[in-house]
Amino acid sequence: MKTYLECIPCMMSQALRAGREAGLADEGLKTLLDEVGMLIRDIPMGSTPPESGKLVYEKVRGITGKKDPYSRMKAAHIREAITLYPEMKKIVGKAGDPLLTSIRLAIAGNVIDLGVNRQFDLIEEIQQSLGQELAISHYDSFVRYLEESTSILYLGDNAGESVFDRILIEALGKPVQFVVRDIPVINDVTREDAMMSGLGEVAEIVSSGTPAPGTVLSLCTEEFLEIFNHADMIISKGQGNYEALSETDRPVFFLLKVKCPVIARNLGVEENDIVLKFSNVDSTAQIQGGPAL
């Protein structure tokens, strides 16, 4: 997905929030906005939002001197999500379709996104996501791919959401490689965050090598691309990964909560909708009945 014009003012807002979280005073924040302002002309509209976001958050790191402005908030979100984990396991245990319920929970966790300007309440979000219609649902394809896959590549999004991902990973019943960002960017999940979330117990943690807030393939390591290009089935969490991979020809299932008008427009849904979208839904392979693995 390309960067939309509306993404540009949003990036300025993101820089401001991240700079504040890093403790910059007003003067420093103004310098940050000056620098991000000058950066705009270097952002080609053909690039994806996470590619542009990478440049913005590099500025934030450069000017604040903080490698991980959101570290405290990330840790707090992980702790909060961990307290909810036992209850979520109970919900899945009682569910008529534990896999679908786990998907709904994993999407609920996607609300923990500090790249967008929203407040959230995790318990409310869980309740809502369990009862809410999926605005796009390629669940049948998901089930079929899952059955025929030997292993799953799971692209993580935010810290804290990662605990919700554990619920889904446990429901998949297949070996999973859980993909983290290479360095901290916004509140995206890193190896350390994934370990804190207990994901080390249920998946192999793999870095994509990217410092962007989304799996931008051109910024990933060769090693990761090798895994990505040969995965049987890929689960992609959140907006940043969708923005980076929306045009992929790999079998990717995008699980996200829609938190911005630009992505809503791109997906043809409404803000606050929840989505389970398959990248290849219109492919011949599927129309002819079943995944070509």
| Interface residues toward a second copy, by CB under 8 A | 5-6, 8-10, 12-13, 16, 26, 29-30, 33-34, 36-41, 45
Q: Tokens 């913005």, residue?
A: 56
Cβ closer to a second copy: 30 or 67?
A: 30
From residue 178, alpha-carbon distances to 27, 38, 200, 230, 243 in Å are 40, 36, 9, 15, 19
Nearer to a second copy, 15 or 126 (CB): 15
Q: Are strands 204-207 and 274-278 parallel, antiparallel or unpaired?
A: unpaired
**Angle ∠(244,194,201) on CA atoms, nearest 5:** 125
For 49-190, where are the alpha helices, taking DSSP H only?
49-64, 71-94, 98-109, 122-131, 139-148, 161-172
**Closer to a second copy by Cβ: residue 40 or 99:** 40
| Most distant CA pair in the chain, distance | 61
Q: Select 9 or 175, whichever has its Cβ closest to a second copy.
A: 9
DSSP state string for 235-270: EEEHHHHHHHHTT--S-EEEEEE--SHHHHHHHTS-
- Rounded Cα distance between 246 and 232, Å, is 18
Q: What span, in angstroms and rounded, lies between the C-alpha atoms of 116 and 240?
A: 11
Q: How far apart are CA 229 and CA 232, in angstroms?
A: 9
- The residue among 12 and 75 lying less far from a second copy, judged by its C-beta, is 12
Q: How far is the CB of 271 from a second copy (least distance, A)?
A: 14
Task: Order the strands of the 152-155 sheet from edge to edge.
Answer: 134-137, 274-278, 252-257, 233-237, 152-155, 176-180, 204-207
Q: Considering the complex, state which of residue 117 and residue 218 has its C-beta at the smaller distance from a second copy.
A: 117
Specify the residue, 4 or 120, whose C-beta has the smaller distance to a second copy.
Answer: 4
